[in-house]
Amino acid sequence: MLSPVPIASVLVIAPDADLRQSLAFLFEANGVFVRACPGWPAEPEPRAFDAVILDEAAVPRATHGDPRLAGLRDRIILLAGRVGPTPDIPHARLVRKPLLDALLLDLVQAMAASHSPATK
């Protein structure tokens, strides 16, 4: 059984409503605060979240210099299909679809722990 997730928050950006709903359910059921949206939100600042989960469909293939990714280097989880090129996002943790719930929870838990005041 997975250990309890520390107080954590995740921003899920995915155009597909079913994927957003599934991810929101997964995280909320495990005590994680979730904000899910089909595209980049105007508010709040993505850096306010412990982890940002980006579906590849929400990210342009050319991401070099994208200001929305600035400062997120250790918080991005990129969801990508098994075929075709993926967006080039330095330092993003790549998770291939279909998703493994335990892997996503473990990644969010590790990211939340690394941003906890107790670990700094």
d(CA 18, CA 117): 34
- Cβ neighbors of 99 (< 8 A, separation 6 or more) are 23, 79
Q: Taking the CB of residue 91, how many other CB atoms lie within 10 A of it? A: 10
Provide the token pair at 98: 């279909």
Q: Is the pLDDT of residue 1 over 50?
A: no
Write the single-letter amino acid at 49: F
Q: What is the pLDDT of residues 34-60, one digit of tens each?
A: 999 999 887 767 778 999 999 988 876
Q: Given this model, what pLDDT does residue 114 score? A: 85
Q: Is the pLDDT of residue 102 over 70?
A: yes
Q: Given this model, what pLDDT does residue 16 score? A: 94
d(CA 108, CA 103): 9
Cross-strand pairs, 79: 55, 95
Q: What residue ranges do the domains of the chain occupy?
A: 8-119
Superfamily the domain 8-119 falls into: Response regulator (3.40.50.2300)
